[in-house]
Amino acid sequence: MKRLTYLFVLLAACTGQQDGGEQTGAPADRIGEHVKNTEIIRDGFGVAHVYGKTDSDAVFGMIYAQCEDDFNRVEMNFINAMGRLAEVEGKDELFRDLRMKLFIDPVEIKELYAGSPDWLKTLMVAWADGINHYLATHPERTPKLITEWEPWMALCFSEGSIGG
């Protein structure tokens, strides 16, 4: 089994976040903790096996590995789900976007996020941190539209970031 362990310099003194409450602290501190507590091992077939000290560490590693596998598909699934495809593909996608906005309203999704239990917010923050960390560590990867991922976006696409 080919073992790939991601070693990064700890970014700063960390806040010691436990799963169970909404994460606080600077994003760099949170990300540094996730990096320290997460291990991604690729087997002989290239399949990612993600290990984390906490559930949020595992979520961070899971989405980071998905971005490594196919960031374009991850991003396009969310662009489509949020009804923003025309911004990337052109005006021919306006009706598809309108249809998607009938199902997914960003204002409503943000309200759902705000009303989510702290344990779930912690996972969604880790999810956004994982994608943002992937982009920060892969400057050659230029997003088509979403340059800063936010935790509420995790609620926009329920089929897994790679599916759909």
Is the pLDDT confidence value at 72 over 70?
Answer: yes
Give residue 40's domain range.
27-156
Total-model pTM: 0.83
The domain that contains 112 carries what CATH number? 1.10.439.10
Specify if 5 maps to a domain. no
Specify if 137 maps to a domain. yes
pLDDT at res. 161: 60
Specify if 135 maps to a domain. yes
Specify if 20 maps to a domain. no
pLDDT at res. 25: 62
Specify if 61 maps to a domain. yes
Cα separation, 140 vs 60, whole angstroms: 21
pLDDT at res. 26: 72
Q: How confident is the model over 123-143, as pLDDT tens digits? A: 999 999 999 999 999 999 999
Q: How confident is the model over 24-58, as pLDDT tens digits? A: 567 899 999 999 999 999 999 999 999 999 999 99
The region of weakest confidence among 2-11, 44-53, 117-126 is 2-11
pLDDT band at 148 (very low <50, low <70, confident <90, very high): very high
Specify if 133 maps to a domain. yes
pLDDT at res. 15: 29
Number of structural domains, the chain? 1
